[in-house]
Amino acid sequence: MNREAGKKIRAVIVDDEELARQVLREFLGAHPEIELVAECANGFEAVKSVTELKPDLLFLDIQMPKLDGFEVLELIGNDLRVIFVTAFDSYAIKAFEVHAVDYLLKPFGADRFEAALNRAKERLSGKSPHTEMPPADLAAAARPPSQYLDRIAVRDGTRVFIIPVAKLDYVEAQDDYVALATEGKKHLKQQTISSLESALDPSRFLRIHRSYIVNLERVVKVEPYAKDTHVAVLTNGTQLPVSRSGYARLRAFLDR
């Protein structure tokens, strides 16, 4: 992301604590080259502001109500630079450190802020090479191996939907997206089915086909469909294709 000379850097602050936003606002006040275009107190506001305003730089808290920083990052994509501002000093910081511009561990001083901002400017100018990772994969990298999703956040324009995984019927791969089927509706999310599969509890969700993951609680029976093929019939009558390897895994679960 190269920037035109003299063009201001548009920034958004996201933090549920007013004092934290105030500190960042004061530090940014010393930089006329930065234009603060929005402040957000929660993740829903963040997704809406970033989608509408398309800033260059985001100061993003991790622990927030409604949507946490990881979910916000998944929903907004890779089109801006992110500096995490958080008191959350554990596995997530290490996972994100190499992908985000920087992180500021609360409480931080002016010198640490200046260092992070300088790194952001280098990234925005294109002088600092870096490797981007898909947002959903970033979130997966930050999750401990034994911790699985209990909800999935999906963006539709500026609106955000939260889908509890307990209400998820199945997942269908659609090119670079997955369709999440829940309560008679489908929500599209930009994510690979493989990365979502790794984030779901394998005791509750099973990959029955290269294009389908099913909530095992929804499966009522498995029926033959054609030669050497089967379909899984769900509680709502939906029929999903089952591959040969998927059938073996599904039978192993149903025969328990």
Q: Which residue has the tokens 């089915």?
A: 193
CATH homologous superfamily of 148-254: LytTr DNA-binding domain (2.40.50.1020)
Domain ranges of the chain: 9-139, 148-254
CB burial string 150-169: b at 16+ within 10 A, e below: eebbbbeeeebeebebeebb
Largest CA distance in the chain: 71
User: What is the structure's pLDDT at 76?
Assistant: 87
Low-confidence ranges of the chain (pLDDT < 70): 1-6, 89-99, 127-146
Assigned token pair, 124: 């925005």
- The pLDDT tens digits for 24-46 are 999 999 999 999 999 999 999 99
Side chain identity, residue 29: G
Model pTM score = 0.75
Is residue 105 within 8 A of residue 165, CB to CB? The reply is no
The secondary element (H helix, E strand) that includes residue 168 is strand 168-174
Interatomic CA distance for residues 16 and 60, integer angstroms: 10
pLDDT at position 57 is 96
Domains 9-139 and 148-254 fall in the same CATH topology: no
> What is the CATH topology of the domain spanning 9-139?
Rossmann fold (3.40.50)
